[in-house]
Structure 1
Amino acid sequence: MEHKAGLRERKKNATWELLRKTALDLFEESGFEDVSVAQIAAAAEVSKATVFNYFPTKEDLVIGGMKHHTGDAARIVRERPKGTTPHEALCGHYLHLLEHGAPQVGLTDNPVFLRVQRLLVATPSLLIKAMDYRRQAAVLLAEALIEEGNAPLTSRLVASQLLHTQHLLVEVNVRKLLAGEPLEEIRAAARAAAEHAFGLLEHGIGDLMRRGTEPPPPDTSYTHDGCRVEYHHHAESEVEAAAEQVLAEPVEDMLQTLANPDRR
């Protein structure tokens, strides 16, 4: 029984790898948006249902792994030692991942990881999905903090700031990787960047970047409340022009257009 279970598991893993590799090949060749799940299934010689059994959405074929990490921050904070802040726990964990070159912090030159990152950067719909996974992570972290009795607003602010800081740090690492910078150089700079970023969170930004010179003249294309000066004027002019065009149209033509919208 154990032998059969092992064979089944290996077969499942092999199918998973085949589907993902096939999908990445097609996405790189034709673009994520222009490849259907049916095409992926045909190229892998499996049914469309089989693809969905392994990857519930097309996006999962590229960034489905992110889904499994949305609860990481909440778990780390829940398990932190007594007397430790969420900031200390997540900063320490991030630095630990940097030391081990974990994919979660963008410090790996694994070819599949790099392929995924290139697709992610080039595909708006994948970026939106990735942003949603990050949003879910922040929600779960905030819920963990609220469960401890912390104020909801403070919990959400802390969760958002901590995870957004981490995301920006990872983004810098990935961009350097994709630009071809040596991994060891990125790793060295990544630790200094992390200590700086988490240090700003710890000590605050309220007194940073205080202006030492006079500001430039106000932008006259905006009103005091932030609206463009001519925005409303343009909008009203367009409405007036459209109304005049309708009123100038013969009544019979208007009636025929209303009766048959496909006429035009």
Structure 2
Amino acid sequence: MPPATESTSPTGPTSPTPGLRARKKQRRFEEISETAIALFLEKGFEKVSVAEVAAAAEVSKPTLFRYFASKEDLVLHRFADHEDEAARTVAARPAGLTALDALHRHFLAGLDRHDPVTGLNDAEGVLAFHRLLYGTPSLVARLHGYQNRSEQALATALRDAHGGTPLEARLAAAQIIAVHRVLAEDNWHRVASGEPVPHVHKTATTATNEAYTQLRTGLTRYA
């Protein structure tokens, strides 16, 4: 598909096509967030006001709040793309592969590519972001909302894949999301304390395998 462009008329350019408009909106969204995160990393989350972020991003406060519902969302939008990642992994799994096997493989693949969401990444920007996140109580509290939505999405995918009652699926999803969170936090703490990533990678792989063995033992319907 060719890139969207502005169309013209005899009286001059018309409005951008929806595709171009959406891309511009996404770029502005990302620019505001990155400006905010840079300020938060420099001065601390609590010491930076929304007005200061808006001024630095060259937008008004009302405009900022059209993009982000809260100050915390300026940081946590990075997790938005991951909200339904587990659910998508289950839904897109190859025929014959169980939900747990698909999720297990997906997490191991994330470790292999040092995906920041697994905690196994020593890039200074990633470490600084995690220090900001886990060192700010309001961000940690807000993160629970993202995890709750991840559980709900995964529960739906598990029911679609293997059946079971809504409660069974929700309990299974909660355990799986909790395992991913605990593994990622442990990886991040170890990397942040100075352990070499290759060493953490090896033990993180073992820990992931052991965690999924426990899940399979207790979650036989989905294994």
Equivalent residue for 1:135? 148
Are 1:32 and 2:42 matched, yes or no?
A: no
Shift of 1:30: 3.9
Are 1:62 and 2:49 matched, yes or no?
A: no
Are 1:164 and 2:178 matched, yes or no?
A: yes
Shift of 1:73: 1.0
CA RMSD of the aligned region, Å?
Answer: 2.7
Ranked by relative contact order (alpha carbons within 8 Å, sequence separation 6 or more), the top structure is 2
- Report if the CA contact (8 A) 1:74-1:140 is conserved: yes
Are 1:202 and 2:185 matched, yes or no?
A: no
Match of residue 79, structure 1, among 64, 89, 92: 92
Shift of 1:106: 1.6
- Report if the CA contact (8 A) 2:122-2:192 is conserved: no
Larger mean CA deviation between 39-48 and 97-106 belongs to 39-48
Q: Deviations over 1:197-231 (max 9, x none)?
A: 111222349xxxxxxxxxxxxxxxxxxxxxxxxxx
Equivalent residue for 2:189? 175
Shift of 1:135: 1.3
Report the AA paired with residue 208 of structure 2: A
1:15-30 alignment, distance < 5 Å: 15-16=28-29, 18-30=31-43
Larger Rg: 1
Q: TM-score, normalised by structure 1?
A: 0.67
1:5-24 alignment, distance < 5 Å: 15-16=28-29, 18-24=31-37
Return 5+ residue gaps in structure 1 as ranges: 206-264
Q: TM-score, normalised by structure 2?
A: 0.79
Separation in structure 2 between the aligned mates of residue 100 and residue 142 of structure 1, nearest angstrom: 26
The aligned length equals 205
Identity of aligned residues (%): 41
Query: Alpha carbons of 1:185 and 1:3: their partners in 2 closer, same or farther (altered >3 Å)?
Result: farther
Shift of 1:29: 4.2
Report the AA paired with residue 213 of structure 2: G
Separation in structure 2 between the aligned mates of residue 120 and residue 58 of structure 1, nearest angstrom: 13
1:51-130 alignment, distance < 5 Å: 51-130=64-143
Separation in structure 1 between the aligned mates of residue 112 and residue 164 of structure 2, nearest angstrom: 32
Larger mean CA deviation between 194-203 and 108-117 belongs to 108-117
Shift of 1:53: 4.1
Separation in structure 1 between the aligned mates of residue 63 and residue 111 of structure 2, nearest angstrom: 36
